[in-house]
Each structure stands twice: as C-alpha cells, then as structure tokens.
Amino acid sequence: MLDFLLAFSSPASSLAMQAMNFREQSPQSLSGSILLSHPSLRDPNFLRSIVFLSTHSKETGTLGVIINRPMGKTLAELDSSFMDNPLSSTPVYDGGPVEKDKLIIAAWEWLDSPHSFKLHFGIDMTRAVTIHTSNPQADLVCFAGHSGWSPGQLENELEEDAWVVSTLDKETFSHREDHSLWKNILGNISDELRFLADSPEDPSFN
C-alpha cells in the first residue's frame, strides 16, 4: 500500500498546508511561486528543474515539489489497489529528493485570473476525491518525494544565484510535461538566461 504524506500529520507538517488562496506574491514569502534552477546549477537532484513552493518561511523553512519531472505513471500503475479509484489516472511526478518513499497529493483549483489559484497540499484520498468530483477542472497531481530547505537555506541559495524566482500560472502548469518548459520560462525572463539555458547539460561539450 502506498504511504502518503499528509499535511499536519508528519515531521514536515509545519511546512505543509491543506488549502490556501494565492492571488499575488508577498515580498516576505515566496509561497505559491516557482523556482527555476539556474543553468549553472549542476546538482543532479535539481538539474533543469522547476520547483513549486507550497510554503516558504525564513523562520520555519521551505517545502516544495518539482513539477516538471513526470514519472510516466499513474496512481493505479504504482499500486493496483487504486485501479477502481476515481483518482486512478492521477499522474505521479518525482517531487524531489526528500522522503521519496512517501507520496504527496496536491490539487490546484484555478480562480479568476491566470496567476490565482487555490492550493490543496498534502491532502488525503477522501479530500482529493471530493475535489476531483466537485471540480473536474482542478489539476490533481501526486508527487513521490518533495524538496525541502531548512530555515535560511533557500535564502542563501538565492543570494548565490542558484535559483530564478518566477510566478506560476495556469498556462505554465498545463505544459508541465513539456521538456522545454524550463528553458522557455528562463528565455522569457532574459536574453542572458536564454543563452545559458541553451547550453548543453554537460559543460564539457561546449
């Protein structure tokens, strides 16, 4: 049976949330934003990754999931007991290097503007089925593992230009399986990032 990581019921509970509306980015918090790994970041865990931040706090730390690494499997393909479940076709993504043996279910309900959404993060199966039934347009995704930073760690990495901060919108999310999404977003931010993103993954080929 699959092991699910639920909000408010795990060691990471202080970093998780069940439902929150995101309408604009706060200067104090990057919750609801996305991080794009800088082209110079060579850590294989985050190479060319796009990380959605469900929670960000200088005091308690940061939790997120990688949204552009589909595993090519559904819940039912991971566990046959979900074959007749309404969530059987929910796609599974590699969410990050932390607790890869646990799954996180998240749902995005898009609101009245492209950058506005209601996030349900770390929810149980019952809640996920309810959202799926009441709002078939909601994007439900299951993540194997997650990405986490201790207090102050992400801030240090941002100062070192390891990440590029951007906003999440419905159009971006709908193309999360597009292998060129990381490169396209960086290219839209600046010509310099476009040039760097076009470089080969292995610098020895330059």
Alpha-carbon distances, residue 118 vs 17, 74, 81, 121, 176 (angstroms): 11, 23, 29, 10, 18
pTM of the model: 0.86
Which of 4-13, 120-129, 185-194 has the least mean pLDDT? 4-13
Q: How confident is the model at residue 111 (pLDDT cuts 50, 70, 90)?
A: confident
Residue 205 has pLDDT above 50, yes or no: no
- Mean pLDDT (the chain) is 86
Residue 139 has pLDDT above 90, yes or no: yes
With beta carbons less than 8 A apart as the criterion, state whether 181 and 175 touch.
yes
Instruction: Look at residue 5 in the predicted model and tell me its pLDDT.
Output: 62
* Cα–Cα distance, 131 to 27 (Å, whole number): 30
Which helix (H) or strand (E) is 75 found in, with range? Answer: helix 75-78
Which of 11-15, 18-22, 146-150, 161-165 has the least mean pLDDT? 11-15
Instruction: Look at residue 56 in the predicted model and tell me its pLDDT.
Output: 92
What is the per-residue pLDDT across 2-48, written as a single tens digit (0 to 9) for each?
A: 566 655 333 333 333 344 555 544 457 899 999 999 999 999 999 99
Q: What is the mean pLDDT of residues 131-151?
A: 95
Beta-carbon contacts of 87 under 8 Å, excluding residues fewer than 6 positions away, are: 75, 105, 125, 128, 129, 132, 140, 142
* Cα–Cα distance, 142 to 70 (Å, whole number): 10
Q: How confident is the model at residue 52 (pLDDT cuts 50, 70, 90)?
A: very high
Residue 192 has pLDDT above 70, yes or no: yes
Residue 168 has pLDDT above 50, yes or no: yes
Secondary structure (H, E, C), 115-138:
CCEEEEECCCHHHHHHHHHHCCCC
Which helix (H) or strand (E) is 174 found in, with range? Answer: helix 170-174
β-pair type (139-149, 91-94)? parallel
Structure tokens at 80: 């046959």
Tell the residue number behind the tokens 């929150």, with chain if given: 20
In order of start, what are the domains of the chain with their CATH numbers? 13-182 (3.40.1740.10)
Instruction: Look at residue 11 in the predicted model and tell me its pLDDT.
Output: 31
- Beta-carbon count within 10 A of 51 CB: 25
Among 93, 99, 120, smallest CA distance to 32 is for 120
